[in-house]
Structure 1
Amino acid sequence: MTDPADSRTVPVRILVCDDHVVVRAGLLALLDSAPGIEVVGEAGTGEEALALAARLAPDVVLMDLQLGEGIDGVETTRRLTATAGSRRAPYVLVLTTFDTDADITRAIEAGATGYLLKAERPEELFAAIHAAAQGRTALSAPVASRVMANMRSPRPTLTDREHDILAQLATGLGNREIARALFISEATVKTHLRRIYDKLGVDTRAGAVAVAKERRLLP
């Protein structure tokens, strides 16, 4: 990434969405020192971010993925970008600690313009914000490497429900417990498990969890 300072006379208007008050405070203090960036609002939930974005019309929403109760960052991103082509539809730049293939794929499919990890240096974050405001893709180096690796050797694509079941499986739950946790029938769990096994090229529960961890398919 390049130096975030550019020739813009109008600052990039930012809305920060993160459910941790301390993290938001740190980001606000950091962005306050950034050239050409103006924070116009902060949100602690996805619902609050949607309401503020509609009222404040930010250029970029800095979005965490895990937002506690309510809709998560992926669904918030999907709703924010659903009005593509609208003047008021902001670009979404994900800023998170989560770097699994599943998280990256879901965020990009939801419409995120960029995906950064919170371990980035401040200047990298500033540059990514300016890039996102221009509609250019901004990815942390580890994320970009993983995206390229997946393009060369595509990972198996699991449905949202299969991800849910795989996550439950990783906790050690049996079929009956998974069915109760997800409010589906035990037969449905078995059907999804067969599909998961086929996609991952395994034939046991332990094998499915091992491969999922190896390929970073679990949150």
Structure 2
Amino acid sequence: MSQQDGARSGTTAGVIRVVIVDDQDMVRSGFAALLSAQSDIDVVGEAPDGAAGVEVGRRTHPDVVLMDVRMPGMNGLEAARHLLHPPPGVTHRPKVLMLTTFDLDDYVHEALAAGVSGFLLKDSPVAELLHAVRVVAAGDALLSPSVTRRLIEDYAGRRPARRRETRLRLNGLTPRETEVLYLVARGLSNTEIAGQLVVAEQTVKTHMTRLIAKLDARDRAQLVIFAYESGLVSPEDRP
């Protein structure tokens, strides 16, 4: 299958716009069929490599880009960097969900630093794929699958030099903000945090906004990395 652009005009408000970037035709077609069957998801474009993925992403303004990691030419990591850090004049920045068949690797740590929102194994169940797209589109990092948890733990463990700096920045948080950060790092959703703290979910969202601003984080994934780097959470902590 050649590069396709399935962008539709007049997309219904609230529908998640998705672009799929993968060099395997069957993978793109399979994911597109699964996602398009959902009433709240619209596949607006496909691309067979990173360079084409960046072009389609810039043209169709998706909410989420499913990006294969290893492709010929421009790989997924480089393409993600282009989409997440566009040149002056380009304002759209989609969420990027990396697709992989591989375990821990150095490129994964670079992807986290670049600001990707999560990782998903290509052989994940359909329900997990749909959940991942919806979670990332909502602005959360995909932290539930074990692969992302291991990646973040390993990434944070490789940066001991930042431990002192991040611990000092913890002092600028209120006790409740620290508590919310801890629960976020353990993989709890906003709804679960609200239930555990017995507060409204909107209150949790307010704390999240303040945490992102105070810690100069791009998204939820970077908050988790900060929590591990600072020692607030350790790999032994489990929900």
* 1:121 correspondence with 2:94: no
The letter of the residue matching 2:126 is P
In 1, are the aligned partners of 2:50 and 2:74 still within 8 Å (CA)? yes
Aligned-partner Cα distance in 1 for 2:93–2:159 = 31
1:31 to 28, 35, 38: 35
- For the residue of structure 1 that corresponds to 2:19, the secondary structure is strand
2:19 to 15, 25, 32: 15
Aligned-partner Cα distance in 2 for 1:78–1:25 = 25
Aligned-partner Cα distance in 1 for 2:35–2:114 = 25
Aligned-partner Cα distance in 2 for 1:12–1:46 = 21
1:91 aligned residue:
95
1:45 to 43, 49, 64: 49
The letter of the residue matching 2:51 is E
Number of aligned residue pairs: 149
Aligned-partner Cα distance in 1 for 2:112–2:78 = 11
Cα 1:127–1:35 change in 2 (3 A) is: farther
Aligned-partner Cα distance in 1 for 2:144–2:106 = 16
Aligned-partner Cα distance in 2 for 1:25–1:19 = 11
2:64 to 32, 36, 60: 60
1:105 to 109, 130, 148: 109
Percent identity reads 38
1:176 aligned residue:
none
Cα 1:152–1:40 change in 2 (3 A) is: closer
- Show CA shifts across 1:134-157 (max 9, x none): 221014622233135426743799
Cα 1:124–1:47 change in 2 (3 A) is: same
* 1:71 correspondence with 2:105: no
Cα 1:16–1:136 change in 2 (3 A) is: same
Cα 1:114–1:35 change in 2 (3 A) is: farther
What TM-score do the two structures reach when normalised by structure 2?
A: 0.56
- Determine which structure has more spread, i.e. the larger CA radius of gyration: 1
Cα 1:63–1:32 change in 2 (3 A) is: same
CA RMSD between the two structures? 2.6
